[in-house]
Amino acid sequence: MPDLVRFRVGSWDVDLFVTKSEFDREVLRRAVGVDVAGVRLRVVTPEDLVIHKLIKLLTDKRRLLQDAADLRALTSANALDKEYLRTWLPPSDFSLVDRLPNLDEGALARALLSR
């Protein structure tokens, strides 16, 4: 069973996460409802997307530049729940998320590659 199923809807890439762990169940519990083109969907919170991207980058760095840009946007545009992140991230990743908005592209790429 895969952890993620990716498909395309129009011009959108949609990731469907498969619930397997306690963290996955928490992500599902915290998902928020949004209206997209008149359809009500549940989407992950910014904090859970940050955590998922960091987990994915441990084993799959093929989209490193896109993931780095996404992480920067998520941490810059949202007031993230730091205590929630601290609960699910190892200390080194929590520290990285905390520093992320201040890192230039090169430093961010090196930090993500060295994890």
- Summarised one tens digit per residue, pLDDT across range 4-58 is 688 888 888 887 777 778 998 899 899 999 998 898 989 999 999 999 999 999 9
pLDDT for res 110: 95
User: Alpha helices of 3-104 — where are they, by DSSP H?
Assistant: 22-30, 46-59, 64-77, 82-88, 91-99
Domain boundaries, the chain: 4-113
Cα(26)–Cα(111) distance, integer angstroms: 27
pLDDT for res 2: 63
Angle between helix 22-30 and 46-59 (nearest 10): 150
pLDDT for res 77: 82
Token pair belonging to 20:
């397997």
